[in-house]
């Protein structure tokens, strides 16, 4: 009896492991939601863009930096079509660059004040 359970458990684990490795990169629903976000970026209404993001439950920090709309990143896509208000909203989700400057290595700072 124990051997039957062991064989069944081994087969089940093998089937589950093979199913995970063959998962599609994205489903039709995911593609539909990304297309809807690209279309919402064509409007110059940030409210419409935000509603689309909330409707499809898209995390802007994870998706928008890597989303390409017609060969352009979504921020450039919106700007090139004259949608500056929506592009400003998209820009919030695009990571910027950080520079760290050591103040002690700069030129001395002279401060003058009256006593």
d(CA 79, CA 84): 6
User: What pLDDT does 52 receive?
Assistant: 94
Question: What percentage of the chain has pLDDT greater than the value 70?
Answer: 68
d(CA 72, CA 32): 18
* Contact criterion met (CB below 8 Å) for 70 and 77: yes
Determine the average pLDDT of the residues in 4-11.
Answer: 53
User: What pLDDT does 9 receive?
Assistant: 52
Q: Where are the alpha helices (DSSP H) in 1-115?
A: 2-21, 28-40, 46-55, 60-63, 74-80, 84-91
Q: What is the pTM of this model?
A: 0.62
- The per-residue pLDDT for range 15-26, each reduced to its tens digit, is 444 444 454 576
- The per-residue pLDDT for range 64-82, each reduced to its tens digit, is 898 999 989 999 999 999 9
Q: Phi-psi bin for 34: left (phi > 0), alpha (psi -120 to 50), beta?
A: alpha
Nearest to 53 by CA among 41, 43, 42: 41
Please give the residue that has the higher pLDDT: either 11 or 86.
Answer: 86
């Amino acid at each position: 009896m124990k051997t039957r359970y062991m064989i069944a458990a081994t087969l089940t684990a093998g089937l589950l492991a093979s199913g995970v490795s063959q998962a599609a990169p994205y489903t039709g629903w995911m593609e539909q939601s990304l297309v809807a976000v690209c279309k919402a970026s064509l409007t110059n209404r940030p409210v419409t863009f935000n509603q689309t993001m909330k409707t499809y439950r898209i995390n802007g920090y994870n998706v928008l930096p890597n989303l390409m709309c017609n060969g352009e990143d979504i921020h450039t896509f919106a700007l090139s079509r004259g949608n500056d208000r929506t592009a400003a909203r998209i820009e919030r989700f695009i990571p910027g660059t950080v520079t760290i400057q050591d103040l002690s290595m700069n030129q001395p700072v002279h401060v003058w004040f009256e006593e």
